[in-house]
Every structure is written in C-alpha cells, then in structure tokens.
Amino acid sequence: MTKKSSNTVHENSIHFETEQTMKVDVDPRRCQGHTLCAMAAPALFELSEIDGHATAVRSDIPADLADSAREAFRSCPEQAVSLH
Ligand code: SF4
C-alpha cells in the first residue's frame, strides 16, 4: 500500500494529507517586519531587534505547534511565511 503524499492549499488553509513533518520558512525578500507570525507562534520565529524581520528558529514543526504554524501562515500580510 502506497501512502498518498500531497499537500493542498485551499484559500487560507493548508491541509496535510499525510503525517509527514511540516516545515516552516520565512522569505526574507517578502518579510516587512510586521511581527504577526511571532505573535501567532512565538516558539517558531525570532525577530530581529533591528528591523523586526522574522526568521524561523526551527524548520521542522512538532505536531503540538502545527496549529500555531498555520495561524502564522495565515496572519502574515506579506505571504512571507511558507509551510511545506
Ligand atoms: S508576519 Fe510576515 S512580514 Fe511580518 S515579521 Fe512575520 S514573516 Fe515578516
């Protein structure tokens, strides 16, 4: 039996159809330092003290932070947060 391994994006939500590990990244070219991602998921992002730009502090997201990661993805007004 082969496991289906596709992710689908429906408007502002992402559905992971397998139990694979979710990963998060921030595109530094898009990030404008709104800080909303870190408010949604403080364990996943750190902010620059200089300009407030975010970086992901860990790429693999543990299951208990998956909802926070999705909230960060939805809250970023620049679409700088990606989940894959
Ligand atoms: S919400 Fe988006 S634009 Fe704002 S700091 Fe986070 S990644 Fe950057």
Overall domain count for the chain:
1
66 closest CA partner among 8, 6, 22:
22
For residue 11, pLDDT over 80 is answered with no
> For all residues of the chain together, what is the average pLDDT?
84
Give me the pLDDT at residue 2, please.
38
The verdict on the CB of residue 40 being under 6 Å from ligand 1 is: no
For residue 75, pLDDT over 90 is answered with yes
Residue closest by Cα to atom 4 of ligand 1: 34
In a domain, 64, yes or no: yes
In a domain, 60, yes or no: yes
In a domain, 76, yes or no: yes
CATH number at residue 57: 3.30.70.20
DSSP element (H, E) containing 23? strand 22-26
Domain range for residue 47?
Answer: 20-83
Give me the pLDDT at residue 83, please.
95
pLDDT, tens digit, 9 for 90 and up, residues 31-66: 999 999 999 999 999 999 999 999 999 879 999 999
32 closest CA partner among 45, 14, 12, 47:
47
* pTM for this prediction: 0.77
Helices (H) and strands (E) in the chain, counts: 2, 7
Residue closest by Cα to atom 2 of ligand 1: 76
